[in-house]
Structure 1
């Protein structure tokens, strides 16, 4: 997953980057399976690995080929991986990575109060729970309004994409 994500980040070929991104999302679903989150894994495959990658492929097919050639010619003028204009973003990414690594190394994970309280109360995932039922109940009770708002926003995005794809006449 990490090598495919790295290829997506440094690749100059958009089509290959999209297919490697599919591999990243599919591998992430595998990590969800190992974390005993079966519903999230299936949702990851259906929504992201299926829908988002197909949407990206359609966007690639609808992109103006002349614009892609101009971008490709501009990319060939400098070094392939690191350019001077990308130095601030590289420094920012390295800074975030340093902070994350420092937190991961210095935090006493076994001494977290909320984790100890949950463990003492018996709130553990053993793998025998029906996660799909829990997600369904929460989705249709507690998170019903955000779920419906997101569905309306996705419908608006779909209508806008169809309008843009139709072209100007």
Structure 2
């Protein structure tokens, strides 16, 4: 029977690296922790609601608009990646009331390919009611010479209004007061 003997030389660096890996538990660990998401909401310009999705870890490109269910509004845009753990989505409310976004379990993955196991949602309450102002006076008030007022008139109220509205022309941006104003929703 023939036996073959082989030998090879390891450098000091190779021996040290091997010893370090062995001493630290042998190599890379496997990520088995599922990612999570927290959702917050805030009013944005133009009446939209801006939802921010904050992930517990990088989800790569696994999260998109198809992962979000919207109730009480619509989104004309897709989700926007801000950085590795933050995305945003603008939602236009359908009207007054609650706008809710929901992300179900198993909709996105971390970079180790772990699915999210918990769902998350956020609700923002909006009001699209227009506040209308009406004035008891039926004739123009004398704002001429009053803190920069150049002229005034009482005009027909806006569409949907229940009374007249005041129109004041002024200069300089000085504050003024003196008319009784009733605001109704």
Query: Normalised by the shorter chain, which TM-score bucket?
Result: under 0.3
Which one has a larger percent helix, Structure 1 or Structure 2?
1
Alignment TM-score, normalising by the size of structure 2: 0.16
Larger Rg: 2
Alignment TM-score, normalising by the size of structure 1: 0.17
Which one has a larger percent strand, Structure 1 or Structure 2?
2
